[in-house]
Structure 1
């Protein structure tokens, strides 16, 4: 099976279908920061054209790190970030922050940290249950009309929430937990397929495989002279044309392994065995 190598997010932002999730890049201590900068730069060298971050990743520190590593950005590199949480001193450590003024403030902070005039893809990290959906998405729509963001995405929504959001504003992407062994959000993926919306699975590499599952993945990896991780990512790429995996790592070796999955092509039989 041969999967498309690129996808148009929002119908106009072309990215390679294997992106990079920056969550694991640590800004401190100094030696970790140096390693993180090297990983981000290597991702771009390997042809990654979509990098995903969030305000919640280090409460802005991850965005700062990416700017240090990659600014000025290559013309074909898209940066996606997420807003909707604020840090607190409570045991939980965070709270929802979906009020329009808070969303606007976080977008302005992201623009400053990332050293951007406009964010390519701005995602609502979670829907705030204490703020009307129309108010949250209306604020992002206003920011898009002002030119501060180009496209709007969602994270961790079900198909009903996606439909309700689309009644308010165009949605370019959905970022939900999804992988070979965890397909809880299959209905959301199907809704994205029907609408041409990018589906960015977080935690895209199957974890916790055991027994027959592990053996099946390992067998197919051996058949393809690939690693089990590459097989799991290759299955995602073959499973739906709107899937844009964003595997993350703090290791250059793991990064190179992940990106190498784009060259792993499953036969129909191998795909069917994994899907079962």
Structure 2
């Protein structure tokens, strides 16, 4: 096999988080390794371990998780499968959500709680420093400067390398940057959902990584005979691969993190890095939104 097919993710290009942390742009999101509703253990734990190890074999060096996935299950799995970690592997995690049950999430941004989140993630992931720590949601009940101040202090103590945000507006990104450097934003964004178009544009202008979660969603766009279906047929690819390829072509700051609990699905997703779209195809797919 060629290098490109052995490690297809390398073909997605690279982005330097915070200007000093290079990663391949196509990563892996570890939420789907947990039970239904991101609650509890995976249905097949050995397969979950195989997925993580195969992702790294295929060139993934950005794995995104959160303490609330499980809760705690996803972080534990990553350490079980991959520790001691490859030197170039970046594990990005998140904190600031409490869990009450499957599909239930409650933001808590009190400084003492965020500090506890970081300390426990360090322990579960068996790390001395978290390369990218993201505030899972801004807590409206806690002053923003207190939430970000806690993360800034942890960064200054060497327990966090870089800080990111999740599900924020342009205004919130700008407000956050008055308190601390923000190197990434993780928002819902895909072919079928473009509510964060302005946030992506802002990130591109500022050189901030934009990490779209739920990147494989295509909605009705993948219907037979549609633009996405036709483009997939031309490339001998699946609609999901085209959705990921479009994200990679959308902007050099975009870092998709498709998730799955199956090795076969993982391999299909990561092969999207080898799909090259023409400018016309990118334009037609962009127009679908």
Gaps of 5+ in 1: none
Does the Cα contact within 8 Å between 1:4 and 1:241 map onto a contact in 2? no
8 A contact 1:49–1:78 mirrored in 2: yes
For residues 37-65 of structure 1, the C-alpha deviation after alignment (integer angstroms, 9 at most, x for no partner) is 00000000000000000011011111011
After superposition, the Cα gap between the structure-2 partners of 1:191 and 1:256, relative to the gap in structure 1 and judged at 3 Å, is same
Per the alignment, residue 125 of structure 1 pairs with: 136
Deviation track 1:205-224 (CA, whole Å, cap 9, x = no partner) reads 12312587971101001111
Change (3 A) 1:193 1:213: farther
Q: Paired residue for 2:56, among 19, 44, 48? A: 44
Kindly indicate whether the alpha-carbon contact (under 8 Å) linking 1:178 and 1:202 is maintained by their aligned counterparts in 2: yes
Give the structure 1 partner of residue 164 of structure 2. 153
How far the C-alpha of 1:94 sits from its partner, in A, is 3.9
1:63–1:113 CA contact under 8 A, matched in 2: yes
SS at match of 1:168: coil
Pair 1:237-2:238 in alignment: no
Q: Which residue of 2 aligns with 1:34?
A: 46
Aligned partner (choices 163, 175, 187) of residue 176 of structure 1: 187
Look up the match of 2:5: none
Greater mean deviation of Cα atoms: 58-67 or 80-89: 80-89
Q: Give 2:77's match in structure 1, choosing from 65, 72, 95.
A: 65
Distance in 2, matches of 1:209 and 1:16, equals 30
Deviation per CA, 1:5-32: give whole Å up to 9, x if none.
0000111110000000000113766861
- Cα pair 1:20 1:50 within 8 Å, conserved: yes
Distance apart, 1:88 and its partner CA: 3.7
Alignment TM-score, normalising by the size of structure 2: 0.90
Evaluate the alpha carbon distance shift between residue 218 and residue 112 of structure 1 in structure 2; reply closer, same or farther with a 3 A threshold: same
Q: Is 1:98–2:109 an aligned residue pair?
A: yes
Q: Which whole-Å CA distance do the structure 2 matches of 1:94 and 1:203 have between them?
A: 17
1:273 Cα deviation after fit:
1.1
The answer as to 2:227 corresponding to 1:216 is: yes
Counterpart of 2:17 (choices 9, 23, 27) is 9
After the TM superposition, which segments of 4 or more aligned residues of structure 1 sit over 3 Å from their partners?
27-31, 91-94, 210-214
Conserved in 1, the CA contact under 8 Å of 2:135 and 2:166?
yes
Aligned partners of 1:92, 1:34: CA distance in 2, in Å?
24
Give the C-alpha shift of residue 114 in structure 1.
0.2
Contact 2:222 2:228 (C-alpha < 8 Å) held by counterparts: no
| Inter-CA distance 13–212: structure 2 relative to 1 (3 Å threshold) | same
SS in 2 for 1:116: coil
Q: Comparing 264-273 with 140-149, which one deviates more in the overlay? A: 264-273
Q: Does the residue aligned with 1:138 lie in a helix, a strand or coil? A: helix
Residue in structure 2 matched with residue 138 of structure 1 by the alignment? 149
Q: CA deviation at 1:227?
A: 1.1
2:92 is matched with which residue?
80
Where in structure 2 are the equivalents of 1:105-124 lying within 5 Å?
A: 105-124=116-135
1:125 to 1:214, Cα distance in 2 relative to 1, 3 A: farther
> Matches of 1:213 and 1:147 in 2, distance apart?
52
Q: In the alignment, does 2:258 pair up with 1:258?
A: no
TM-score by length of 1: 0.94
Distance 2:255 2:73 in 1: 25
Contact 1:20-1:48 at 8 Å conserved across structures:
yes
